Amino acid sequence: MCSVKESDWKLFRKLIPEWQERFMARLLGEYSKMIAGQGLASDRFWNLQKRLQKDVQKVGVRVEMKRSVMLMNLLSLMQEGAITQDDLDGFSDELRQFLRGV
């Protein structure tokens, strides 16, 4: 397991709002397509409601800001597609290597 360096924690806290804004903007685009899609309005409404319930649980939307869960947050953000390896520029080599290996 990788230890969380102070510099990585500070950078994470700085970048998380930007990453979340970008992720939520992407989600809003997907929701717009769902709303504008074909079919019954009621079906589109309830499908959107289900999707919102699922998405609100994602780290890209709601993150627990604790240093002890930062690595898990980063892994979740990557799995959700909220960030990529390129977004990890500036983090320690140890952290980036750890995330590549998982």
Residues 16-39 as b/e (b if ≥16 CB within 10 A, e otherwise) read beebbeebeeebeeeeeeeeeeee
Global pTM?
0.90
Specify the pLDDT at position 102.
74
- pLDDT tens, residue by residue, 26-84: 999 999 999 999 999 999 999 999 999 999 999 999 999 999 999 999 999 999 999 99
Confidence of residue 101 (pLDDT cuts 50, 70, 90): confident
Work out the pLDDT band at 86, boundaries 50, 70, 90. very high
Residue 3 pLDDT: 87
Contacts of 66 (CB under 8 A, 6+ apart): none
Measured between alpha carbons, how far is 91 from 102 in angstroms, rounded to an integer?
16
